[in-house]
Structure 1
Amino acid sequence: MVTKEEVLEALKAVSDPEIGYDVVNLGLVYDIQINGNRVYIKMTMTAPTCPVTPWILSEAQRVVEELPGVEACDIELVWDPPWNPKMMSDEAKQALNIDY
């Protein structure tokens, strides 16, 4: 069975093309649940009007479903809590010169 750590590592391959950083370090992944061979993810975008939302969600689903042992991945787009730069990893903040 796949682990949350493996799912997070796979999701690091998905970058927001407008920001140039991955969805995990941007703090866009809120929750991961694994039930057998199915993965359920709650994630958000940096803004509700993000024009690349469909692409990011599709890529996230694709990379997770490519993991051994994963039959399906369902992603729920959520807006609560609202994303803010404080949710980014220290690595991302430093790389993007964001001082929080």
Structure 2
Amino acid sequence: MKIEDKIWSALEDVLDPEVGVNIVDLGLVYEIKVDDAGRAHVEMTLTIPQCPLADEIVKNVKEATAAVSGVKEVDVALVWEPKWSPARMNDRAREEIRARRSLV
């Protein structure tokens, strides 16, 4: 398994605390690159630019990425283009959100 694939898998454990769904299923992660020196670059967005939990989410992304074997350094870039929309979510995220709403 490629190191990028391992990072994608690790990021499935990082939740958006407000939504309660992982950032991969939400479509917040746009790109992952790792160079030969083990420097990982994660390009991602948030559901809204003013997200009050942005620092926490980025910290969790860095920690999850750094825990992957072979990663020596982590850089997380928050980008706003393309803008996130619910259309970026996969079916699993939609089902989790529907299930959470039905519990309320």
TM-score in terms of structure 1 length? 0.92
Write the deviation string for residues 44-83 of structure 1: whole angstroms up to 9, x where unpaired: 0000111000000011001111111110110100000000
Could you list the runs of 4 or more consecutive aligned residues of structure 1 that deviate by over 6 angstroms after TM superposition?
A: none
**Which residue is 1:12 aligned to?**
12
**Which residue is 2:93 aligned to?**
92
* SS class of match (1:50): coil
**Structure 1: 5+ residue runs without aligned partners?**
none
Q: Which one has the largest radius of gyration?
A: 2
> What is the percent sequence identity of the aligned residues?
36
Alignment of 1:49-88 (within 5 A): 49-88=50-89
For these two proteins, the number of residue pairs brought into alignment is 97
Write the deviation string for residues 8-49 of structure 1: whole angstroms up to 9, x where unpaired: 111111101100001100000001111021110100000011
TM-score in terms of structure 2 length? 0.88
**Structure 2: 5+ residue runs without aligned partners?**
99-104
Shift of 1:2: 5.2
